[in-house]
A and B are shown apart, each in its own frame.
Chain A
Amino acid sequence: MRKYKFFVDLAKEEQWLNEMASQGYVLAGKSGASYRFESGEPGSFVLRIDYRSFKHAADFEDYRLLFEDSGWRHIAGTKSSGAQYFLKKTADQSEDIFSDADSKAGKFKRLSEMWFSLAVCFLPILTALVMAGNIDLTAFLQPAKLYYTPGLWDKTGADFWGAFLFETPFALLRGFIWLILPVSIVLYAVFAAKARKQYNKTLNKI
């Protein structure tokens, strides 16, 4: 069975995957937003998510082997994907890949740092666009300026609507594609703050 879902919150994702497992759907693979499940005995699997990226393939291999040796099967995650999914066959639903609050909280800190660095990466691009005068704010007031079809505004009836609707997607791209940058920066900053909050919450929960 396949399901498509997108999570920003690692804790909620882990909770959902464990709920699925308790209903007999055990995570067997994940690529992007697509989760692949296989059937397994309900209540006999625990799924845990770690967040960690690696510089070298050997480090990743060593990391996975430590978990495998400890009885955690690595289900999904690559060297640089960050999220790593581990599954253990056990009736004890409290089994965890972390044994203290510090290390359990640590994954949210790494996640928060990743979102924050993404936000910071986009800042110079936006600054450069603004400085170079590539962003035309008057497009908000006079969107008509974004249409380049000669004589578009003199046309009438079906002729006008055909040409107008045809060009609209291009006009929008031309005028507002840059908005992706500030929107992404704000989103990444919000995700970073959320992960940071979760870090503090986990740290204070013994």
Chain B
Amino acid sequence: MNRDKNLPLTETVYYILLALTEPAHGYLILQKIEELSLGQVRMAAGTLYGAIDNLLKLKWIQPVQSEDSRRKVYVITDRGMEMLRMDSERMMHMVETTRRRIKL
């Protein structure tokens, strides 16, 4: 089976995509990620900015209109959603296989 060359996603990218299943601006993304990861992933501003830049180029996220004219708001695209789904299936398979082989 040929796997998409962008997989597996990094933890940073995975959480950004997950956070952007609802529209959000930069700082809100940081807060959502901290919340979604139960405080395990605390991303810094510079790291997030670079990742957003990259995800926009890949067209996995896109800017959307918002009331806040100074802060850019982004949301996940269909392509981004597809990547998120593929990577979660990959991880699900890993977890299931692991459970079958060893008692956790």
Contact = CB atoms under 8 A, between A and B. Distances in A.
B50 A103 contact: yes
Interface string B30-71: 100000000000111111111100000000000000000011
Nearest to B72: A62
B71 A97 contact: no
A69 B26 contact: yes
Contacts of B48: 66
Contacts of B26: 62, 65-66, 69
Which applies to chain A's interface (DSSP): helix, strand, loop or mixed?
helix
A98 interface: yes
B3 to A, nearest CB: 21
Q: How many interface residues does chain A have, given as a range? A: 20 to 34
A106 interface: yes
Q: Secondary structure at chain B's binding surface: helix, strand, loop or mixed?
A: helix
A62 B45 contact: no
Contact of B45 (A58, A59, A72): A72
Contacts of A67: 45-46
Contacts of A62: 26, 70-72
Contacts of B70: 61-62, 65
Contacts of A50: 46
Interface of A: 48, 50, 52, 58-59, 61-63, 65-67, 69-70, 72, 96-100, 103-104, 106-107
Given A66-B27, A70-B44, A103-B50, 16 more contacts: A50-B46, A62-B70, A66-B26, A66-B48, A66-B49, A69-B27, A70-B30, A70-B45, A97-B44, A98-B46, A99-B42, A99-B47, A103-B44, A104-B47, A106-B50, A107-B46
